[in-house]
């Protein structure tokens, strides 16, 4: 065999190896794309559901352990989204914590059609506030929650159905 034949054989082997490597990379890449396209949506859905569950658990913990406060509903705004045929809404609140200045807060929540009358503008609702982060507010809705009023004169709370503050006698 002469030098030209050896060079030709080496070039042939190199071209074959490169072709095989390109084919392997293409097959692996196409399998990866197929895997991501097939499994990716399931992973995304699982992740979103997990985040929603964590958010709901955090809000439930805040309802159980948060500082009691009252809030006046200033506005109820639709977001245009429905979750399980229930509206996702923004509830604009004026939160009144005992011994603190009132502040506005917008709370986004899924609202059952049955609880919409409880959060109309002007309605007083019970809320729970994270004392470490007053921007974390949960609205306490339900039959087991007694609505409380806040007395602006003596800074105490009392049942909202009472006409006067039992502590100082100020009108509700």
Of residues 158 and 122, the one with the higher pLDDT is 122
Q: Say if residues 167 and 157 touch (Cβ distance below 8 Å).
A: no
Query: For residue 66, is pLDDT > 80?
Result: yes
3-state class percentages of the chain: helix first, strand second, coil last, to nearest 5: 40, 35, 25
Residue 172 binned pLDDT confidence (cut-offs 50, 70, 90): low
Model confidence band, residue 30 (pLDDT cutoffs 50, 70, 90):
very high
- Which string of b and e fits 25-39 if b means at least 16 CB within 10 Å? eeeeeeeeeeeeeee
Of 9 and 161, the one with more pLDDT = 9
DSSP letters, 30-80, are HHHHHHHHHHHHHHHHHHHHHHHHHHHHHHHHHHHHSEEEEEEEEEEEEEE
What pLDDT, on the 0 to 100 scale, is given for residue 143?
A: 44
**How confident is the prediction for the chain on average, in pLDDT?**
87
The pLDDT assigned to 147 comes to: 57
pLDDT mean over 21-33: 95
How confident is residue 21, by pLDDT bands cut at 50, 70 and 90?
Answer: very high
pLDDT of 164 reads 80
Looking at the chain, the whole-number percentage of residues with pLDDT higher than 90 is: 50
Mean pLDDT of 72-96: 92
> pLDDT, tens digit, for every residue of 95-154?
999 889 999 999 998 888 888 888 899 988 989 999 999 999 999 886 445 556 667 777
């Amino acid at each position: 065999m002469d030098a030209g034949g050896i060079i030709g054989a080496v070039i042939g082997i190199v071209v074959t190896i490169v072709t095989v490597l390109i084919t392997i990379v293409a097959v692996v890449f196409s399998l990866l794309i197929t895997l991501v396209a097939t499994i990716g949506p399931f992973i995304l859905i699982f992740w979103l559901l997990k985040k929603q569950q964590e958010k709901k658990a955090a809000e439930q913990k805040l309802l159980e352990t948060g500082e009691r406060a009252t809030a006046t509903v200033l506005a109820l705004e639709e977001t245009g989204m429905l979750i399980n045929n229930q509206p996702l809404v923004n509830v604009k609140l004026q939160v009144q914590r005992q011994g603190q200045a009132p502040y506005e807060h917008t709370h986004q929540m899924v609202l059952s059609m049955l609880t919409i009358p409880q959060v109309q503008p002007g309605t007083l609702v019970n809320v729970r506030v994270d004392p470490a982060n007053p921007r974390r507010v949960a609205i306490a809705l339900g039959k087991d929650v007694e609505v409380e009023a806040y007395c602006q004169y003596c800074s105490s709370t009392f049942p909202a159905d009472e006409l006067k503050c039992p502590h100082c006698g100020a009108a509700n």
